[in-house]
Amino acid sequence: MNSSVKIFRSPYELAEKFAEELVRRITDSAEKNEPFTVALSGGSTPELLFSVLGDHFSKSAPWEYAHFFWGDERCVPVTSQDSNYGTAKRKFLDKIIIPEVNIHRIHGEDDPEKEAYRYAEEIAYFTAGKNGLPLFDMIILGLGEDGHTASVFPDQKELLYSDNVCGVAFHPVTFQKRITLTGRVINNAGSVIFLITGKKKADIIEKIINKRPEAVGFPSYYIVPEHGMLYWYIDEEAAMLL
């Protein structure tokens, strides 16, 4: 597995440099007249990235070549503050010119089991395939303090190995239902990028990157792309123990 760790002075510099990389990847695809499929992460970390993209890069890429998906979504209406789609829409997607059909949100308001199946069908239709699984050009991930990523939580690690493209999970503390990409799909991506900031994540990052014994309990430890690249985009606070 090819991986690389990139450390940035601040969350803003990380967001800006990643935005430049995303724009570069979409532009390269456009030059080959190919779509670029990317799954966005949820939670609070990517909010700064979305703001940087929406406020400073809205005219920097041929967005019509991008297809945006989500790595996971909370089972809530789009109007909820918890909606990962709602956050990306407000801060980023509403500020770019992109065909509506290129925005592939998870319907958090619908029955989770049925939506997991429907979303898998949508993914299959709009992405390439490899090894019998959907191939995203890029999957962006966050890292929870318990080592979860997307919505694959430590007590639901079976989602790492599911034959399904999407699964239904629940947050171990709030029991909020989630829909998530499964581990095999994540590991089938062309590139997987963890975006992580803040000193609260420093300990768990150190354990995962240095393969400490306790890391085996963390779902993020098992994100090892089969044939793609793994990048860690982290700020200095999150990297303080490396």
Among 11-19, 145-153, 224-232, 234-242, the segment contacting ligand 6PG (CB under 6 A): 145-153
Among 89-97, 122-130, 148-156, 222-230, the segment contacting ligand 6PG (CB under 6 A): 148-156
- Which residue sits closest to ligand 6PG, CB atoms considered? 142
Amino acid residing at 195: L
Shortest distance (Å) from residue 32 CB to ligand 6PG: 30
**Angle, helix 11-31 to helix 46-56, in steps of 10 degrees:** 60
Report the distance separating Cα 50 and Cα 43, nearest Å.
Answer: 12
44 touches ligand 6PG by CB under 6 A: yes
Candidate list 11, 14, 37, 42; residue touching ligand 6PG; CB under 6 A: 42
38 touches ligand 6PG by CB under 6 A: no
Shortest distance (Å) from residue 77 CB to ligand 6PG: 15
Q: Which is nearer to ligand 6PG, 2 or 44 (CB)?
A: 44
Neighbours of 77 (CB within 10 A): 12
86 touches ligand 6PG by CB under 6 A: no
Do 212 and 206 contact (CB within 8 A), yes or no? yes
Report the distance separating Cα 242 and Cα 103, nearest Å.
Answer: 37
Bridge partners of residue 134, in order along the sequence: 129
Report the distance separating Cα 46 and Cα 142, nearest Å.
Answer: 8
43 touches ligand 6PG by CB under 6 A: yes
